[in-house]
Copies of this chain bind each other. A is one copy, B any other.
């Protein structure tokens, strides 16, 4: 079966049919209509076998995740998802694998009203590139820049679940259903991104870990932050793992959380429960933005350390 046949058979009609898609998979280009008064948000991400996922992973989960990762980027700017394109490189034209991959991709696409509008299949080492496209009302985009001293730092969901799941997998330990779901089928916080428009002073999605991603917000906003470790929202399993030797790397520096981290003016604190209800996920205040620079992680007793970049810089007793 040729590339063209595989595309025709598996990549057409994926996701939700939409009026704003005039031409989709199968022509030289997709032809799309952006609604009046909306700006177009686009993000592109690649997942490489052996780097971002295990080569023998479940293709259905991979399909879901490849789209989820990109919808999470749209959520971070407050965009409403609309369309996705897929460039898939496979070692062999394995039709069963492709069908399972598209099943996972399509399930999330349908859940989020996204249409697959363009597809390219090539032969080579297993690599998945997805571009997601969404709409934001003009001048209502969420940015990394914009956090101000005094702002509250909030996160959605729980942190470190995917990191713990990956640790179990690499150690050959069994995964419970919760951790498996959090690793394989993250829920992009699309509804949250939309309700944060015009309210959050900054936002980012947590793909590389809190220290790294919050670090991007601080760098873009020109300020620092103080995060209280005991306030980090942790599932029981992660809390237990942290407790073993007080190693906070799971919630602070493991990737694949796909939660949003955002900042709110202090006056908006009272709205947090309303936002959480509208977004359909827990929201937790974990610290505040401060003047200066750097990220300080503190315990309840006031001790702590300064973090930089993707890991720990050095321990500073306070």
Contacts and interface: CB of A to CB of B under 8 A. Distances in A.
Interface of A: 2, 4, 22-23, 27-34, 36, 39-52, 73-74, 76-77, 79, 85-87, 89, 117-120, 122-125, 127, 129, 131, 133-134, 136, 138, 141, 143-144, 204-205, 216, 220, 309-310
A40 B43 contact: no
Contacts of A123: 48, 51
Given A31-B41, A42-B118, 17 more contacts: A2-B309, A27-B77, A28-B76, A28-B204, A29-B43, A31-B40, A31-B77, A31-B136, A32-B42, A44-B120, A45-B87, A45-B120, A46-B127, A48-B89, A48-B124, A51-B122, A87-B129
Contacts of A118: 42-44, 131
Nearest to A127: B127
A111 to B, nearest CB: 20
A51 B67 CA distance: 26
Copies in the complex: 2
Given A33-B40, A125-B124, A129-B129, A87 B46 contact: yes
Contacts of A220: 27
B79 A29 contact: yes
Given A123-B51, A129-B129, A141 B31 contact: yes
B87 A42 contact: no
A118 B123 CA distance: 24
A197 B29 CA distance: 15
Given A42-B85, A123-B51, A34 B34 contact: yes
Given A89-B46, A204-B28, A125 B125 contact: yes
